[in-house]
Structure 1
């Protein structure tokens, strides 16, 4: 009888015990998710409310601070065909954004690839670092507009100067971050690998590169951000279709609602790209912060 009672009651007791601890982590995860998603949403709502209050107060002219409804109408106009006009300048806003993202992707891909390769060489070979570091510092100190007009003179007004400008903007952060990360690789681990018979190339591949990856990803994120901030400069000439070209063209006519739509499109797409980069970083270097 005791055995039967034990058998009958034990599963129920265990089920109730399992359900209790299981619910607590689940509630905790839901609470963390709500806080993580709710705080950014709350900040956006607060910003929009503050903007509308300023617009309603009439402190500034509507040319400078338009109502949210006016910005929304501009967004709808850029998303539809109205009065025989397709979007803005013959393209919908997502077509402008697509062209900008394509330019950014090409420029960042070139700039990051060259920057990481240079950083790896500068971090491992002293004379290469001494040779190239002044040029990287010189390029990093230059604002994009300082050399964009020179690129236009050399390469014309088509895609070449835009992609080159974005590549030059993306190169220094990736190179500097990779150089610093490679030079900070644990000397003890490198010497241990060499003592176990690893060649210099194998030590770099198996020890230096993995230890440098976290900081390299930080440099890549900085490169993407700097390239993205150079989009409007890159699309000054012949920038339509392109969201930076839209911002520049609309600003010529004081079309603030369209400028704001372009700014929001650049900003939100930048947030999405950075989130994707962080997800890739989390997958590629799961040991970051754990060693």
Structure 2
């Protein structure tokens, strides 16, 4: 066999893709979608299909962002607070509500997944609560708790609780029965089985439930800040909408969305560190 024939018959070795190239591609696609979105927005605003009160130019929204983020003409931000201060108050409320809601939800899910009769009692109530939109009971919370921080944090906690509880319950029920039986055969107590087998097996889906819970709480923040919500992004959006101040409303919406993306990214990173075995077993 000639060298040329040997070379032709040899298997082709394909070099693995560069990790940097993969990362750049992963970063470029979202950035490209943002550019396309801004271009379409600019064209729609320029075409004048809708009044600029409803669809302002991106540059108008950018100026509104600068205005609410700085002190200008003797006016400090919006309603006396800078955008970062509005966002800080919103995040503080969300954090308080999520800590309470997720903490109770995960604990409840562990118990419901382990105790059948308790699951039968509580599951319909969780489904009932999950089906209710936040505004359905927010006014009742205002009547009961007033218009300060208590009803806001309670609303966010109630929004975060069902996803965390349901996901944790399902994760506990899906824990490998074989591993549990093997642990019992080796002399492990029920508490040890739950701690060493059930909880590690349930962690991946529990983290998914936590992410959903944070998303539910964050999507409810505007409703939570309907009353006495300034400082707060929800209060800013509501107040600006009362005056048809669409640029400021859009600034608030973008602030909620972008900060939500950052929070979700942080939760994903925490999940990768806390549950490195996800998808590997």
- TM-score, normalised relative to structure 1: 0.91
Counterpart residue number, 1:88: 78
What's the offset of the Cα at 1:73? 0.8
Counterpart residue number, 1:252: 242
Contiguous gaps of at least 5 residues in structure 2: 1-14
What's the offset of the Cα at 1:80? 1.2
- Given candidates 142, 157, 160, the residue that maps to 2:147 is 157
C-alpha distance in structure 2 between counterparts of 1:68 and 1:289, whole Å: 42
C-alpha distance in structure 2 between counterparts of 1:206 and 1:280, whole Å: 20
Counterpart residue number, 1:243: 233
Please show how residues 170-249 of structure 1 align to structure 2 within 5 Å: 170-249=160-239
C-alpha distance in structure 1 between counterparts of 2:171 and 2:62, whole Å: 45
- Given candidates 5, 19, 35, the residue that maps to 2:25 is 35
What's the offset of the Cα at 1:285? 0.5
What's the offset of the Cα at 1:83? 2.0
C-alpha distance in structure 2 between counterparts of 1:29 and 1:131, whole Å: 50
Post-superposition CA distance 1:205-263 (Å, at most 9, x none): 00000000000000000000000000100000000000111001101111000000000
Please show how residues 39-78 of structure 1 align to structure 2 within 5 Å: 39-78=29-68
C-alpha distance in structure 2 between counterparts of 1:82 and 1:207, whole Å: 59
CA RMSD of aligned residues (A): 1.1
- Aligned residue pairs total 268
- Given candidates 122, 142, 146, the residue that maps to 2:132 is 142
- Given candidates 126, 134, 149, the residue that maps to 2:116 is 126
**Corresponding residue SS for 1:290:** coil
Q: Return structure 1 stretches of 4+ with deviation > 4 angstroms.
A: none
Q: Does 1:168 align with 2:168?
A: no
C-alpha distance in structure 2 between counterparts of 1:79 and 1:221, whole Å: 29
C-alpha distance in structure 1 between counterparts of 2:70 and 2:165, whole Å: 43
What's the offset of the Cα at 1:131? 1.1
Counterpart residue number, 1:98: 88
C-alpha distance in structure 2 between counterparts of 1:289 and 1:68, whole Å: 42
What's the offset of the Cα at 1:87? 0.3
Post-superposition CA distance 1:148-175 (Å, at most 9, x none): 0000000000000000000000000000
* Structure showing the higher helix proportion among its residues: 1
